[in-house]
Structure 1
Amino acid sequence: MMNIISYAIVGIIVGALGRFFYPGEVNMGLLWTMILGIAGSLLAGMVTNRGKPGLNRAGILASILGAIVLIFLGRMLNLGA
């Protein structure tokens, strides 16, 4: 249960930072921000960690970049626009 709550909290933080650093306005609610952050973290985790557990600064930065990439892809595919 604690893992789900921690994923949600990290997802909100990463999603909000991804929205903040993305150029232009990003219209989405809190739930979609959380989903964006979790998906960005998963995307970045698959690329950077390669299965190694742990939290590091590079992983956090990669998670934010992953969220920005997902916003870009969503706009390119006209998802939620």
Structure 2
Amino acid sequence: MGMLSWIIMGLIVGALAKFLMPGRDPGGLIITILLGIAGAFVGGFLASALGLGTVTGFNLGSILIATGGAILLLFFYRRFKR
């Protein structure tokens, strides 16, 4: 069940990141999910590195941190694919 929740969270966060960063993306649904999952890891790592603590579960703080990480990854992904 944990893996399924990561995929669902990744889908939500990836879609939210694409919504907040409009433009052409060189990826489809799978890339969106992968960027969302990786964004959750990056956002969580950056939050703990900055001393913001660890945010776990499906709550507003974890969604915001994961979305920030996904936006960061989407930015670099767009730059890399050009």
| TM-score, with length taken from structure 2 | 0.79
Quote the residue 1:17 is aligned against: 16
Percentage identity across paired residues of the two chains = 40
Quote the residue 1:54 is aligned against: 56
- What RMSD over aligned residues (CA atoms) do the two structures have, in Å? 1.9
| TM-score, with length taken from structure 1 | 0.80
**2 CA distance for matches of 1:65 and 1:39?**
11
Aligned partner (choices 45, 62, 71) of residue 74 of structure 2: 71
Quote the residue 2:36 is aligned against: 37
Structure 1 unmatched ranges of 5 or more: none
**1 CA distance for matches of 2:77 and 2:55?**
28
| Alignment: residue pair count | 78
**2 CA distance for matches of 1:76 and 1:60?**
24
1:23 is displaced (CA, Å) by 2.9
Is the 1:49–1:59 contact (alpha carbons within 8 Å) kept by the matching residues of 2?
no
